Amino acid sequence: MIEAEGLRKEYGEFVAVEDSSFDVEEGEVFGVIGPNGAGKTTTLKMLAGLLEPTAGEATVAGYDVAETEMRQELGFLPEGSPLYEEMTAVSYLEFFADLYDVAPGVADERIHETLDDLELEHRTRQIGDMSKGMKRKVAIARSLINDPAVLIYDEPASGLDPLTTNYIVEFTERLAAAGKTILFSAHNLFHVESICDRVVIMNNGEIVARGGIESLQAEYGKSTYTVYTTVELEGSVRENGYYTRTVESMDAVEATREAAESAGGSVVDIRTTESSLEEVFLNVAESGTTAGETVEGPPDRTTPVTQKPDSEG
């Protein structure tokens, strides 16, 4: 549904995005993550047809991003989404439905069903009198007014309180379950980890790692094992009637089992903990993975993941 090949964006001598290539399959939830200034927003705007690439090609739902027809298949939500604050939520959405040539009867049904799904009350209140969370819900409803096949969301929960943030993340999950193809960026990596099928990690305008969450964890993460024993061992702590020792390899697990048996006890449980996506991201930074490399192969050059000042996210 989304294909990007060699995308590049220059502003004078400054390169905001360089050789960005990836694809998003139909029905997939795909995340773009990275520090501020990594090139995430620039990439999403090029895919949405809002910025013309300096080089490279991109298609959304089979259309070149420069084609007008593409916009009928796309719902775009920018991080900053100014609304017409003198309008009510309903009149605002009716206005955009008309721009997309949605039939009035269809538009009315879609507007109220979407606002019901978003649990937006006071929909006849002027947008300027709404809270930030309510405004964000109106902006999300606008992105769905044309019933697009593809959604591109740039920080959909940016700056919102935890309750509203969790609701929007859950709503995004429901959109994916309904068959929408979703590409989004987010700083909260817990949310990315919870709903994304695959991600790319960007830094300094380049993709420095890519893959499914599990493959990234396998390549750049670390497994730890908490071993529960019936006897106290060196380095163990008392927990729920047993003794626990946390180790980082199966060899250490086996050594713990042998030590427990030598002390007249036994192992009663072993629990595995995988690295979070945030830990994976930090490990990618330390590993020096470079653009174009994937998690399937070891990095052979060093490119530290650092924040680039004075550039778009």
What are the domain boundaries of the chain? 2-217, 224-273
Residue 86, Cα to own-chain centre: how many angstroms? 32
* Residues 180-237 pLDDT 10s: 999 999 877 777 888 889 999 888 899 988 888 777 877 777 778 899 999 999 989 9
DSSP E strand stretches across the chain: 2-11, 14-24, 29-33, 55-60, 63-64, 74-77, 150-154, 181-185, 198-203, 206-212, 224-229, 237-239, 242-247, 267-273
Give the CATH number of domain 2-217; options: 3.30.70.660, 3.30.1330.40, 3.40.50.300, 3.40.50.800. 3.40.50.300
Please give the CATH number for the structural domain made up of 224-273: 3.30.1490
pLDDT of residue 164: 85
* Residues 133-175 pLDDT 10s: 999 999 999 999 999 999 999 988 877 888 888 888 889 899 9
Per-residue confidence band for 26, with pLDDT thresholds at 50, 70 and 90 = very high
CA distance 93 to 90: 5
* Residues 50-79 pLDDT 10s: 999 999 999 999 999 999 999 999 999 998
pLDDT of 280 higher than 90: no
What 3-state DSSP class applies to 286?
A: helix
